[in-house]
A and B are shown apart, each in its own frame.
Chain A
Amino acid sequence: MNPLSYHRALSTADALSRAGDGAARLLGGGTNLVDLMRKGVERPSALVDVTALPGTIEATAEGGLLIGAAARNSAVAAHPLVRSQYPMLARAILAGASAQIRNMATVGGNLMQRTRCLYFQDAAASRCNKRIPGSGCEAEGGFNRYHAIIGTSPSCIATHPSDMCVALAALDARIHVAGAAGMRTIPLVDFHLLPGDRPDIETLLAPGDIILAVEIPPSPVARNSAYRKVRDRASYAFALVSVAAGLSVREGSVEDVRIAFGGIAPKPWRAFRAEAALRGGPATREAFEAAVIEELAGATPPPEAAFKVELARRTLVAVLTELSGSDR
């Protein structure tokens, strides 16, 4: 770790005035950043602690939620409104990491956490286009079981590791961002970028931008929602595949549906095509199957991750079937 300065920002203006410095990084809980600094992947010389900025969780006027970026993951998951109105979000957060880490991790940091690709993390010895654009990608032809099957590019096949973001993608969350040019709002589904030929650019944030809050619109469909995470051990492991879904069925047909996948793409993968295929149609296992097959039709998995196409299909069908109540 390089020698560092540390500043705890007490206001957004204070944070903004320091965040623009190219060598500075915002510090949330530090659960990702500090780890990456130890691994030599991140090398800031200044940290701006943003955990003293707002972290409250409030109901919005239109019946949604506004969650301050500094809110701890555990606080969000435990919040009564999240548990009752957006169960998939509570469950997704609780599926991530460990209780200790969730107590530390902030919502802002979770959105910005970086991939767990083994070669990305091995700054000392491995080539990685995400760390050094143009240097090559060692996951290609190496260990890529945890890698993406859709949305990848020849330059990078890494996944976005977050669980929380998968639920947020399904919930049409919007990110409130403050930057040099003022405030703006970005839909979460647009916030993370596909790698293209610049896998080092991961989000729409410009240098110096700060995430202030996440807003979740009211979502009746989310009340009947679930998050299922499939992983290599029963707990405390990143997703191989995860599914966030909400479903409302009326008289046997799909009234509304929200679906997002984790573990299979460079960003939280909102399954728009599957949703479109399902909406208004029958809420049957066959329809769920057909929708997910359509969604993943373009999958180009690396060799070790080929199983994820099937795993994603089965997991989604099982989740939707359960939400539709047809197996009860």
Chain B
Amino acid sequence: MSRMQNVVIETVKTALGWVPAQWLPGGTPDPLIERRVALGRQDSRLDGPAKVTGLARFAAEVPMERLCYGALLHSTVTRGRIARLDTAAAEAAPGVVLVMTHRNMPRIGTLALIGVSDLSAVGNSSLPILQNDEVRYNGQVVAAVLAETQEQADHAASLIEIDYAVEAAKTRFDDAKAAARTPASILIERNHVLVGNAAQEVDRAAHRVDNLYRTPGHNHNAIELHAVTVAWQGETLLVHDATQMIAPSANALAKLFGLKKQQVRVLSPYVGGGFGGKGLWDHQVVAVAAAKLVGRPVRLMLSRESVYRMIGGRSPSEQRVAIGADADGRFNAIIHTGYSVMPPYGACPEQYTMCSRALYNAKSFEIVQHHVDLDIVPNTYMRAPGEAIGTFAIECAVDELAHQMGIDPIELRRRNEPERHPLSGTAFSQRALTTAYAEGAQHFGWERRLAEPGARRDGEWRIGMGCASGSFPYARMPGAHVRLTLRRDGTVNLSCSAQEMGMGTSTVQVQHAADRLGLPVEAISFDMGDSALPAGSMAGGSSQTVSLAAAIMAATEKLTGELLRLAGNDSPLAGLRARDVQLVDAGIGDVADTARHESYRSILTRAAREEVSVIAAGSPPLEMLKFAMHSSSAVFCELRVSEVTGEIRIDRLLGSFDCGTILNPKTAASQFKGGMIMGIGLALTEETLFDARNGRIMNATLADYHIPVHLDVPEIDVIWTGIPDPRSPLGARGIGEIGITGVAAAIANAVFNATGKRIRDLPITLDKLL
């Protein structure tokens, strides 16, 4: 979520507090990079037992007394007004507790869009929610029903009669291009980048490619449906939500319903997949309002159809990439421009050109994005927004150029590998993409690839190999807090409002805290998923791990000072200051003289304290300002294409990652693979079918929107350079989103190698290969 980077950096610029000297130029890297015990170990995820037994309770699973169930009704037209609304039959239906429409929905304001003001702005849509008779997109929520049972609610919703006064709507991407907007900036970057005269350079280049690439809309399709269980307890509001943004959601709901922050508690200890889609949308607001009206707790779990209708996904795009190269393959010019959808009430600019700013050196650049305005459900962030589809375009283009020039595509990339950030000239904090390629190529057996397309076959199958680069920016959120409580028995509890969507958050941070504090992992527990806890970071932008790590570092520092104070003059540590000590062997020790050591237990016992508790926030993420920081990857694919049917079977997929320190190989490999598998879907099967005639999503089911199934997923190889980033906490960078980037291009390039057919329109369905 690089829009978050935007906000992050803005926030940092304005609120320059303490400077984390150790990560700035000339500073010393995080000492834990060198000293690791639990970190780097294959620990199994801590939440595993609760999940495999079905005991982990998700948002829709919290039992409550007097619960009623919600169902939503969606607009069937795209633009217009509600001309007639008859709720009588629904109200009279058995079990109905409330029918809520714009007529009786409490009046509330609109949500601040993500990234607009500050980190508490989390709205994905700024349209009013059930506040008036206006319809702005097909699928917008127009009514809600509460009933004693889900079956009754669903039935009653089907009895509501609505006539619309239909107005003309913009639903055709191609038609709307003419009126596209060109914003001044995309995230924090200037949108229109011109270095030299790229158009002229391309024309004059010895070798050039210049093509259009198209990607369709996508949906996150987390298997858990969006759900809330909401209860008003007097003047306080309890929201069990499936959300990636616990603390900001609580703030936003408080603002919307005129409550104090402390009056809203959002709980979300487990989230059944998010990928950017589990934010604050209309349904939470509707549920909270409806619960208020009826004075009863409400459970609202969206139907799968509702998820498609009202939770936006990834925008479709049309991208032009042109590259010019000299006779040696050095790039004279990179042009990356295009169109994606961003309605004025949406928040996500789908920054597909970002990757092209950092991947290659070139003499000249032209980069610009245009926003097409359509009347559709607002698109939002989806795993590696921008990069997932941007790398498809640029990395296919590089492959096309390499083929044209008769150069190995890895070699062509190597020749254009930048030393510093190609546009800003900033130093990379650490970058070893070339190493990742070398190691990946060796592991994969790249030398077995035949450059000539269609040269390898096995029966009816043509076999091909392809590769591509992936890239994703580093982000660390400011303001992530954590509470660290050290008890006299030598155990530690960490707590904050962060969440566990499957990334292994708690597992890795427990490993981290164990090393940081010189304790075994068994001594550490981690509570999270509750806005009543110190505000952690949101799960987005692949930033949660380093953001929490920085908070834990800060808390440890604070704790150390506190412990030294408590240790006092009777301690072997007497006279030592924080910078003289390290935390080892369940206590504090003198760095210079290992004999000087006192255990936590002893310090607390002498001080007659049961526990010491500190809350701290991570330092401002200044490293992001000073360095160009990116995770990067080399993706390799081998696949078969049936000459008869055009069917594609991926036989092998390998990701070679350069993402800093890998904190837990087991959970990290899962993150990488998960992203890569979503990349398989992006390449081959996934497409949200917007009917261009009316902007309605027609495949609003998991049967008709094809995400990869087991048989589509080969055994995936994942390797990494493991080179620590000297500028980040633990030497780590994000790993959650990089996995999907580059995959679609590697697959498309392998399809070309197998068949000689260049498919520039995703998904690569078999009809395109007949």
Contacts and interface: CB of A to CB of B under 8 A. Distances in A.
A319 B124 CA distance: 50
Contacts of A143: 689, 691, 698-699
A232 B706 contact: yes
B452 interface: no
A314 B155 contact: no
- The CB with the most chain A CB atoms within 10 A, among B155, B305, B696, is that of B696
A3 B711 contact: no
B644 A315 contact: yes
Given A122-B698, A143-B691, A314-B644, A232 B709 contact: no
B147 to A, nearest CB: 12
A1 B155 contact: yes
A125 B689 CA distance: 15
A233 B645 contact: no
B766 interface: yes
Interface in A286-316: 307, 310-311, 314-315
Interface stretch (A166-174, A202-210, A235-243): A235-243
B763 to A, nearest CB: 8
B588 to A, nearest CB: 57
A118 B699 contact: yes
A125 B696 contact: yes
A1 B706 contact: no
Nearest to B138: A125
B709 A233 contact: yes
A1 B704 CA distance: 22
Interface residues of B, number: 38
B418 interface: no
A238 B158 CA distance: 29
Contact of A233 (B76, B77, B646, B685): B685
Given A118-B699, A240-B766, A3 B644 contact: no
Contacts of A8: none
B567 to A, nearest CB: 62
B770 interface: yes
Contacts of B684: 233
B411 interface: no
Interface in B664-696: 684-685, 689, 691, 693, 696
A318 interface: yes
B748 to A, nearest CB: 17
B81 interface: no
Contact of A235 (B151, B696, B709): B709
A234 B698 contact: no
Given A2-B155, A311-B767, A314-B644, A234 B711 contact: yes
A124 B76 contact: yes
B765 interface: yes
Contacts of B77: 125
A237 B710 CA distance: 12
B766 A230 contact: yes
Contacts of A40: 158
B765 A1 contact: no
Interface SS of B by simple majority: loop
A150 to B, nearest CB: 17
Interface residues of A, number: 36
Given A233-B685, A234-B649, A237-B706, A141 B766 contact: no
Contact of B712 (A138, A142, A233, A307): A233
A114 interface: no
B154 A1 contact: yes
A235 B711 contact: yes
Contacts of A233: 684-685, 706, 708-709, 711-712
B94 interface: yes
A318 B644 contact: yes
Given A233-B712, A234-B711, A235-B710, A118 B689 contact: yes
A232 B767 CA distance: 9
A236 B151 contact: no
A116 interface: yes
A191 interface: no
B165 to A, nearest CB: 16
Interface string B692-723: 01001011110110101111100000000000
Nearest to B707: A233
Interface in A103-152: 116, 118-119, 121-122, 124-126, 138, 141-143, 145
B151 A1 contact: yes
A241 B646 CA distance: 12
Interface in A1-57: 1-3, 38-40
B693 A142 contact: yes
B118 interface: no
A129 B689 CA distance: 21
B299 to A, nearest CB: 18
Contacts of A138: 691
A232 B685 contact: yes
- The CB with the most chain B CB atoms within 10 A, among A118, A126, A143, A233, is that of A233
A323 to B, nearest CB: 14
Contacts of B580: none
A107 to B, nearest CB: 21
Contacts of A317: 644
Contact of B766 (A121, A124, A232): A232
Contact of A230 (B74, B645, B700): B645
A30 B360 CA distance: 56
Given A141-B693, A234-B712, A118 B645 contact: no
- The CB with the most chain B CB atoms within 10 A, among A39, A311, A317, is that of A311
B709 A118 contact: no
B163 interface: no
Contacts of A124: 74, 76
Nearest to B684: A233
A232 B765 contact: yes
Interface in A206-245: 230, 232-238, 240-241
A35 to B, nearest CB: 9
B153 to A, nearest CB: 11
B460 interface: yes
Contact of A236 (B138, B709, B766): B709
Contacts of B645: 230, 241, 311, 314-315, 318
Contacts of B74: 124
B691 A307 contact: no
A44 to B, nearest CB: 13
B133 interface: no
Interface string B102-142: 00000000000000000000000000000000000010000
A116 B712 CA distance: 22
B647 interface: yes
- The CB with the most chain B CB atoms within 10 A, among A122, A124, A232, is that of A232
Contacts of B708: 233
B482 to A, nearest CB: 42
Interface in A74-128: 116, 118-119, 121-122, 124-126
Interface string B19-38: 00000000000000000000
Nearest to B704: A118
A1 B154 CA distance: 7
Contacts of A119: 698
A122 B305 CA distance: 10
A40 B155 CA distance: 9
Given A118-B704, A143-B691, A317-B644, 18 more contacts: A3-B94, A39-B305, A119-B698, A124-B74, A125-B76, A126-B696, A142-B693, A143-B689, A143-B698, A145-B767, A233-B684, A233-B685, A233-B706, A235-B709, A238-B703, A240-B767, A311-B646, A318-B644
15 contacts: A116-B704, A125-B77, A126-B698, A143-B699, A232-B706, A233-B706, A233-B708, A233-B712, A235-B710, A235-B711, A236-B711, A240-B766, A241-B645, A307-B770, A317-B644
Interface of A: 1-3, 38-40, 116, 118-119, 121-122, 124-126, 138, 141-143, 145, 230, 232-238, 240-241, 307, 310-311, 314-315, 317-318
10 closest cross-chain pairs (CB), A and B: A125-B76, A234-B711, A307-B767, A235-B711, A118-B698, A318-B644, A230-B645, A234-B712, A314-B644, A236-B709
